[in-house]
Amino acid sequence: MASRDPRPSPEKVTPVDTPPPHDGSDAPHGFGTAAVHAGEPRRKEGNSLTTPIIQTATYTFADTQELRDHFEHRIERQEYGRYGNPTQRIAEQKLAALEGAEDCLLVSSGMAAVTTTLFAMLSRGAHVVVTDDSYRRTRQFLNQTLHRYGIECSTVRAGDYDAITQAIRPNTRILLSESPTNPYNRILDLERFAEIGRRQRVKTIVDATFATPYNQQPLKYGIDIVLHSATKFLGGHNDLMAGAVLGSADLVDGIRSLQGVTGAVVDPFAAYLLIRGLKTLALRIARQNANAQAIAEFLEAHAKVTRVHYAGLPSHPEHAIAARQMRGFGGVVSFEIAGDLDAASRVVDGCRIPQIAPSLGGVESLIEQPALMSFYELTTEERLQVGIKDNLIRYSVGIEDEADLIADLRQSLDRS
């Protein structure tokens, strides 16, 4: 059986704009401490303990000289809500510290992070290489929307690094993948992927929504840009929508400039909720890692389960890669049961703790069948062509008690 937590204690990170430890030293903080304090000034407006919500669309200037100082970059401040907000900036600084990034841009959703980044980095005649297990809406945007603007895309099989290299053309600008992937939890060898990009002078982008910065930090392996749907694990409570783009200051600044034109902004209250969610990120993800590992081990041993897709299991094809580059294996477990679409539905309907819903990453467990939730409009044959089996179930594991979650799954499987 796989160990519950194969990685050492949380790595030290250097938070952005974070007060020094209480002993007065300048030693970097652990992840949990950074999650609580990073990015936030020690003394906040109104002497508030929590970062205030600056709920305004526009900002005033004391006089015309202040306006000139702003536009000539002698002072740093806000001008208009589409170009930024103080609450948003605190959330960006906190997330940048946790990811180990120079800068972070928050946008209105995870897909806005994808689309704004690609629009900013691509132009007519450019070419993108994407792995076939990347999020279906990302691939749809590349192959349908961007195709209309003269941008080409090649889709290659995940894990085939020779195919990725061979797909690169003189006009290739981006290599795009995910890790772990949705819904099969495939793991990208980040160092190898980044090395291909450096060797071929192509920017690399990784959607790390499933991992979170607690489990994995792709920038440390040489990846150029990391994307997150902050709606999921980062917010953690299924009550906000936001996306994040992280990387070097130069790359993020270029994407931020386009966001000011396209207007895919995050509102101040969502930024406030994200700050609140990030403060408990280390606690939540550690619990979800442990719960998911236990559930994966239980499912793999159950007679009615034919396959479990979870990188924490030695049976997973990229288990060794995951153990090398991840602290934990994440909070999503996908599994296949003996039978067809209806048999999988009986298992889903028989569970009493998880709710049937899209999305993932919150404190509440959620369960769904990808064949019905995301690919309902396709036939079984069409779903199989894109790798979605009728008997596949995706379980987003929450922070409930491990024993309760397993007992609930057991009774549903035994009765179905």
Q: Any idea which residues carry the catalytic annotation?
A: 82, 135, 207, 232
DSSP string, 29-67: EEHHHHHHHTTS-SS-GGG-SSPP----SB---SSHHHH
- Amino acid of residue 137: R
d(CA 348, CA 346): 5
Length of the chain: 416
Could you tell me the two tokens for 106? 């928050």
Helix (H, G, I), strand (E, B) or coil at 383: helix
**Dihedral Cα 409, 236, 241, 85, nearest 10 deg:** 180
Angle (CA) 134 288 107, round 5°: 50
Q: Please give the helix or strand (H or E) that residue 299 lies within, else none.
A: helix 281-301
d(CA 94, CA 244): 12
Which one, of 91, 3, 4, lies nearest residue 286 by Cα?
4
CB-CB contact of 234 with 244 (8 Å) = yes
Alpha helix locations (H) across 22-160?
A: 31-37, 64-71, 86-99, 110-121, 136-140
Task: Return the bridge partners of 104, or none.
Answer: 246
d(CA 200, CA 248): 19
